[in-house]
Amino acid sequence: MYLSSSSAAGIRFLASVKHGHGLKPSARQAGIDKEVGYRWLREEYLQLRRDGKSRAETTAELGFTTSRLVAWEADVGQVKDRHHLRVNVDEEASFWAAFDRGNSTGEAAKTAGVSRSTAYRWMHNRFDQLRQSKVTVRRCQGQLRLTDRLSLNFERERLSRLSKEQNAATAAQHAAVRSSSDYADQMLGAVLSEAQQHRAARAEKYWQLMRDGVSNAEACRLLGMHRRTGTQLRRASNFQIPPIGVPSLTAGRYLDARERLRIADLLRLGHSMRRIAIELGRHASTIKRELDRHRDAQGLYLPRTADHDARPQRARPKVHKLVANARLRTLVQRKLNRFWSPDEICGWMKKTYPDDHAMRLCPETIYRALLLREGHGLHRRYATKLRTGRRIRKTRWRTRIGQGSRIRNMTMIDQRPAEVETRLEAGHWEGDLVRHEALFDRAGVEDLRRCAVAAA
């Protein structure tokens, strides 16, 4: 089966080479022979060179160099895609010059020295170019002096060809998506060797002993390994005990390694975020957040790195920001000593450090660190620096009766004196003037008259 460089395997192979992998590992990863990889690299090299790029720019963009570049460079100036229907460019120019002078198609073909079939093929190509430029069928027919029947045939063939190309592109996309899914299953289905499984199990037991408070020497003695091996494990984890790994949930709340591999493949195929979300059965915002978090400085999305970084990010509980960032904590404490409010502190930091997201806080973070539990980075003595002076948080449900929105010493409406019923003084009948569409017909006329008299 002939594979082109635009296939799923070709895109995966070229992307792997561009990322710095060798030709043989990239070909093995894409499931192709290395000569097929050379052919794809040659096609991409010739295309870039014919587009006007220099030799150095082309090799830099491909991320690959080989001794075959000398032979490839010799093919840059040659006519590409030689076909038995191809004729000299000067003959076609001579035909169109004669046709523009008013000659018929047959006469222009004789002038150029070509057959009528070649002339009509040129007419057909020119018709397709005009239609691609948004020229109407009627104007194309007038410019090329075509009959109604011939222009209708040209348009019908063009639409049929476009439909076939669209169907082929759709089928290629579906095949690429299936290939991406199979590739993800193949990569994740790789079984570790017995030695790798043994080392992984031993490392897990070692870290469990370290979590239980056992020393390095004692843990290595219990596991039957050298102390230097334990030191290497500690050095690899930056001398910190790693948290207990969170198991990957397939098709659950979190993206797993298989879905991340498919995201990377679909991005290389040119799919949009919404299209990727549909293929994975996820929401588009999930794909956007994943790409925003795990793309590198060059905008590349590496699925293995993303899956590795997502595991510690998903671990709970997280270290609070004021605990982890000593510079931020010192700055907040200095402002609190000057009796700044948390809102003023956060607004000042956002204005002073507009590009440093590590120096960002919300007021609620400061309030929670001061008024709730210990261990949030701020000591409780800074709570007295707040303008309220409270050391604990006062919630609304703790408001006692008689405070808050209630009026003290309030007289209820059922405690009004009896003379109000006589309505002899202004203010006794103000409730009668409340207008309501459902009860407006019940308003007393005498009350309105009394109001008018009182107002007079």
Tell whether the model's pLDDT for residue 349 goes beyond 60: yes
Give the pLDDT of residue 62: 85
pLDDT of 80 reads 55
Over 70: is that where the pLDDT of 229 sits? yes
pLDDT computed for residue 197 by the predictor: 79
pLDDT at 60 over 50: yes
Residue 246 has pLDDT above 60, yes or no: no
- pLDDT tens digits for range 412-454: 877 888 887 887 777 776 555 555 555 545 444 444 445 544 4
Alpha carbons 232 and 226: distance in angstroms, whole number = 10
Q: Return the pLDDT at 456.
A: 43
Q: Vertex 245, ends 243 and 250: CA angle to 5°?
A: 155
206 pLDDT more than 90 = yes
Question: What pLDDT score was predicted for residue 414?
Answer: 79
pTM of the model: 0.40
Non-local (6+) Cβ contacts of 213 within 8 A are none
Is the confidence at residue 331, as pLDDT, over 60? yes
Q: What is the pLDDT of residue 453?
A: 46
For residue 217, give every residue at least 6 positions away whose Cβ sits within 8 Å of its Cβ, in sequence order, or none.
227, 230
CB atoms within 10 A of CB 94: 17
Taking only the tens place, the pLDDT of each residue in 2-20 is 567 777 788 888 888 888 8
Name the average pLDDT for the chain: 80
**Given this model, what pLDDT does residue 86 score?**
57
How many Å apart are CA 28 and CA 37, to the nearest integer? Answer: 10
pLDDT tens, position by position, 369-417: 888 766 677 887 888 888 877 766 666 555 555 455 567 777 787 788 8
DSSP string covering 234-280: HHHTTTSPPPPPPPP-TTSSS--HHHHHHHHHHHHTT--HHHHHHHH
The model's confidence at residue 34, banded by pLDDT at 50, 70 and 90, is confident
pLDDT at 270: 85
- Does 171 have pLDDT greater than 90? no
Report the C-alpha gap between 184 and 257 in whole angstroms: 8
Q: Mean pLDDT over residues 326-350, rounded?
A: 91
